[in-house]
Amino acid sequence: AQSVTQPDARVTVSEGASLQLRCKYSYSGTPYLFWYVQYPRQGLQLLLKYYSGDPVVQGVNGFEAEFIKSNSSFHLRKASVHWSDSAVYFCAVSAADNNAPRFGAGTKLSVKP
Amino acid sequence: DPKIIQKPKYLVAVTGSEKILICEQYLGHNAMYWYRQSAKKPLEFMFSYSYQKLMDNQTASSRFQPQSSKKNHLDLQITALKPDDSATYFCASSQGRPAETLYFGSGTRLTVL
């Protein structure tokens, strides 16, 4: 079975600073990897996903993530954060056998003005 | 217009009672899911259905029963409610193929007194 670890429960950065949110997955096969964002009192929305190919994938609003197989990681990055990026970010992994994605515990991002 | 409708938005129940959480999706998707989010276990996978058939069940308790009366419906019946069942329950849908994006509803916040 697959699982995800997001080691940072909370991250605070200043507006305009760069961002990295960490994600490590556990799965013996080829993973499908996702980052979702959750704004207050809403459901989750997809930021980006990785299936195969170029290990750096681009998402919405300037977010990108890099799949590093040797490290079982899929960290999320953004070059310059905006206050509106404040939200909870979830990393998820899905197996190739069509089972439902499993999510990490989430990282709450706070952007200081 | 929301494409995944969850009803009700808020629900208060007494211990031992039974409630049904409603989910309808208008995205034409073949697969539907239930996830639960609480302070103790953030975004926990519960069930997945594909073409109205149960694909995966990670819920240990038989008190939780999904019900799919139509292709675009996946309701969740919870019996003998306990305070620990208090959580936000999210319905989601996808095309059902591996690694497809999940689309989430805005959730039903259940409080059990």
As averages over each run of 10 residues, the pLDDT of chain A (113 residues) reads 92 97 92 93 92 93 95 97 96 82 95 93
Residue B91 CA to residue B33 CA, distance in Å, equals 6
Chain A residues touching B99 at Cβ < 8 A = 32, 34, 49, 51, 94
Q: Does the beta carbon of A41 lie under 8 angstroms from any beta carbon of chain B?
A: yes
The DSSP bridge partners found for residue A74 are A67
Contact check, Cβ <8 Å, B102/A44: yes
Residue B22 CA to residue B6 CA, distance in Å, equals 5
Block residue for tokens 């760069």: A18
- Specify the pLDDT at position B39: 85
Averaged pLDDT, B56-83: 92
Q: Does the beta carbon of A32 lie under 8 angstroms from any beta carbon of chain B?
A: yes
The DSSP bridge partners found for residue B4 are B25
Residue B64 CA to residue B20 CA, distance in Å, equals 10
Q: Mean pLDDT for chain B?
A: 92
Q: How confident is the model at residue B64 (pLDDT cuts 50, 70, 90)?
A: very high
Averaged pLDDT, B82-109: 90
Side chain identity at residue B85, one-letter code: D
Chain B residues touching A32 at Cβ < 8 A = 98-99
The DSSP bridge partners found for residue B10 are B109
Residue A74 CA, chain-centre distance (Å), reads 7
Q: How confident is the model at residue B42 (pLDDT cuts 50, 70, 90)?
A: confident
> Does residue B26 carry a pLDDT above 90?
yes
Bigger pLDDT: B113 vs B39 = B113
Block residue for tokens 């193929």: B97
> Does residue B50 carry a pLDDT above 90?
no
Averaged pLDDT, B48-71: 89
Residue A59: partners with Cβ closer than 8 Å, 6 or more residues away: A35, A46, A47, A48, A65
- Tokens at A61, concatenated: 């609003």
Q: Which residue of B has its CA nearest to A9?
A: B42
Residue B89 CA to residue A78 CA, distance in Å, equals 30
Polymer length of chain B: 113
- Specify the pLDDT at position A40: 87
Q: Does the beta carbon of A27 lie under 8 angstroms from any beta carbon of chain B?
A: no
Q: Is the CB of residue B59 less than 8 Å from the CB of residue B47?
A: yes
CA distance B38 to chain A (A): 10
Q: Determine the residue among A34, A44, A107 to mutate to test chain B binding: the one whose Cβ has the most chain B Cβ atoms within 10 Å.
A: A44
User: What is chain B's alpha carbon radius of gyration, rounded to the nearest angstrom?
Assistant: 13
Contact check, Cβ <8 Å, A98/B102: no
- Tokens at B67, concatenated: 């019900």
Q: Does the beta carbon of B108 lie under 8 angstroms from any beta carbon of chain A?
A: no
Q: How confident is the model at residue B55 (pLDDT cuts 50, 70, 90)?
A: confident
Q: Is the CB of residue A45 less than 8 Å from the CB of residue A61?
A: no
Averaged pLDDT, B68-97: 93
Residue B97 CA to residue A99 CA, distance in Å, equals 9
